[in-house]
Amino acid sequence: MSQSTDLARAQQRFARRQRLVRWRGWLPWAAGGLLVVIGAIAAWLFYFSSVLAVSGVKVAGADTVPTATITEVAGAPIGTPLAKVDLAAIAERVRTIQAVADAQVTRDWPNQVKIVVTERLPVVVVTDGSNFELVDATGVAFKTVAAKPDGLPEALVVGDRRDVTIRSVVTVSAALPVSLREQVESISAASPDSITLNLGSKVKVVWGSSDDSERKAEVLSVLMRRDAKVYDVSAPDLPVTKGEKK
d(C-alpha 155, C-alpha 91), whole Å:
32
First-to-last C-alpha distance (Å) of the chain: 132
Q: Beta partners for 188?
A: 156, 196
Give me the chain's average pLDDT, please: 85
Is 93's pLDDT higher than 70? Answer: yes
- Range 6-35 average pLDDT: 57
Q: Coil, strand, or helix at residue 166? A: helix
d(C-alpha 23, C-alpha 158), whole Å:
87
pLDDT at 245: 72
Q: State the CB neighbour count (10 A cutoff) for residue 29.
A: 9
- Range 136-161 average pLDDT: 87
Domain ranges of the chain: 1-48, 56-119, 124-242
pLDDT per residue as tens digits for the range 216-246? 999 999 999 999 999 999 999 999 999 887 6
Q: Which CATH architecture has domain 124-242?
A: 3-Layer(aba) Sandwich (3.40)
Specify the CATH number of the domain 56-119. Answer: 3.10.20.310
> Is the Cβ–Cβ distance between 70 and 62 less than 8 Å?
yes
- Specify the length of the chain in residues: 246
Residue 107 CA, chain-centre distance (Å), reads 17
pLDDT per residue as tens digits for the range 161-170? 888 999 999 9
Which residues of the chain form beta strands (DSSP E)?
56-60, 100-108, 112-119, 124-127, 132-135, 141-145, 154-157, 184-189, 195-199, 204-208, 230-232, 240-242
The pLDDT-based confidence of 158 (bands split at 50, 70, 90) is confident
